[in-house]
Structure 1
Amino acid sequence: MTARRLLVAALVPLALAGCAGTDAPAAESTAASTPADRSQPAEDAATASPAAPAEEAGQRIEVQVAAGQVTGDTGRVPVPLGEPVTLVVTSDAPDELHLHGYDLTADLPPGQPAEVRFDATVPGVFELELHDAGTVLLTLQVS
């Protein structure tokens, strides 16, 4: 009977350790919340690395507008269907962002980034524009 208890006592922690990696939200919040995680041993760093992008899960698209010139992620930007997307636009002039098709808007104060976050659940090609200026910043191709 004692040998059986020792065997169970040895196997239970192994079984629990095998399950520990399946709880993604807990691993993500731990990795994202403490910068000291980067100094952990390689075994822990491997689990922390995937968690860092999960903080900003999905695709981040950044555009800058200065003196009417658009730079950054411009043109036609491919986005996988179902992907979470964060659009970040910084402009030197006030305006309003408008993502056609999804009908999302955001105020754009001068010199400060504005963000539009959404899940790309509608397939198609959609323009992101400066609403007041009528300037198309990019088109999203969701497929």
Structure 2
Amino acid sequence: PGAKEEVLPVRLTPQSALSTAQALFTREGVEVALEGRTLGQNLTFFRTRVAFPLEPPRVRRAGVNFFLENPNPLPLRVEGKLVLMGQTFQVAADLPARGEGRLQVVGFRPGLDRGTGRLELTLEVPGFFRQTLVLAL
């Protein structure tokens, strides 16, 4: 009864620790069960799935600057290509948790081609998770 926080140990085998951590960042998540032993019986109090799916970064443009906003509670490493008006630029940024980073495109010459641009990125939570996505600009 009442408001109280409790720390519960997590039992993982060394073989499953990394795959479990990676699965936490997917939409499917991982299954978690609260188990205990009382009066000589093993009991499962509840079983559920836990997930912390990563949202893609949001991108906005202001002149030759592109701002990448990370809406996630974890910092992200972002690498990839910016394809804009027939030109391709390599991009890399470290985005803080719930923060933003700025990409300034040096050498960008607007008006050479007509068309839409895209940002092809690989997101990484270092050591745990990698995801590739394409954002339209």
Larger Rg: 1
State TM-score, norm by structure 2.
0.34
Q: Answer 1 or 2: which has greater helix percent.
A: 1
Give the structure with the larger strand fraction: 2
